[in-house]
Amino acid sequence: MTEMVLKIILEKEDIKVISAKTQFDLANLYGKSAMLDAVAVDSNGKTYNIEVQKQREGAAPKRARYNSSLLDIHGLKSGGEYSDLPETYIIFLTEKDVIGDNLPIYHIDRCILETNKLFGDESHIIYVNGENKSDTGLGRLMQDFTSADYESMHYEMLAKEVNFLKNNERSASSMCDIMEKALQEAREEARKEAKEEARRETEEMAYRVYKAEKAKETAEKAKETAEKATRESKRLTIKKLLDKNKMSYEEIAEVASATLAEVEEIARTA
């Protein structure tokens, strides 16, 4: 379905999606992460983020900017060149005309203001107006997204999806509602998975700390045992040399790697 939607929105029949994933979590090491509704990659390496938003706030311009930046961060591998960044599309399917200029679709690209020429960074943002119900491919797609009757839908793939979901007891009045509900369920599932993963990581960290403490304790005991054995060995050596009574205390201390005080102490207790 992702491939079909992209072909209609971009008016390109040659798009071939090779991977698509819903609820794609893009982490940001330096700030806020984002849970994207859907991310797809085509056969040319172009990356698409498709967001279904019923509320104006969810399709704010800076949300589009942030999603685009996250795709860039994750699109460039360590050691890669900036020229390796893939062409990206941030696409919002909105129930209302959030831009407000009564157009069916809005294409946003960076341009040079002085020359009105495209900047050419291959970063694109697209808003699709859900209020557009024209007799065009895009208009018919939006009709289907807001239709409650799958039998009257123009696109068979969407009709089958709505029919399947409704027959599986998902309470929704339109494709847009169904997708919103499905995405909300996916978000909840993603949150549960993230919570479980955090719990596992916490337990693993606690176990690693425990093992480190035990290793430290073992090392300290081994060091204590070795020092005790060294002291006992030194004491026996000094005692044997004292028993022979052939060396001065100073000589015994030098031979046994001991201090004169240690030799005198053992001599007094012998």
pTM, rounded to two decimals: 0.60
Distance of CA 22 to the CA centre of its chain: 14
User: Per-residue pLDDT for 25 more than 60?
Assistant: no
Kindly report the CA angle at 113 between 107 and 116, in degrees rounded to 5? 65
Give the pLDDT mean for 179-194. 64
Distances (CA, A) of 152 to 4, 215, 231, 250: 18, 70, 94, 109
Instruction: For 73-87, write each residue's pLDDT tens digit.
Output: 887 777 788 888 999
Q: Among residues of the chain, what percentage have pLDDT more than 70?
A: 81
- Which helix (H) or strand (E) segment holds residue 84: the answer is none
**Residue range 186-207: mean pLDDT, rounded:** 73
- Give the mean model confidence (pLDDT) for residues 207-229: 86
- Residue 29 is predicted with a pLDDT of 39
d(CA 237, CA 259): 13
pLDDT band at 237 (very low <50, low <70, confident <90, very high): confident
pLDDT band at 28 (very low <50, low <70, confident <90, very high): very low
The residue among 90, 13, 19, 30 whose CA lies nearest residue 58 is 90
For residue 220, name the pLDDT band (cuts at 50, 70, 90). Answer: confident
Give residue-wise pLDDT tens across range 96-130.
899 999 999 999 999 999 999 999 999 999 999 99
Residue 106 vs residue 232, higher pLDDT: 106
In whole numbers, what is the pLDDT of the chain averaged over residues? 81
Confidence (pLDDT) at 33:
45
165-182 pLDDT, tens digit per residue, is 666 655 455 556 656 665
- For 211, phi and psi rounded to 5 degrees? -65, -40
Q: Answer yes or no: is pLDDT of 242 > 90.
A: no
The predicted model gives 6-18 an average pLDDT of 89
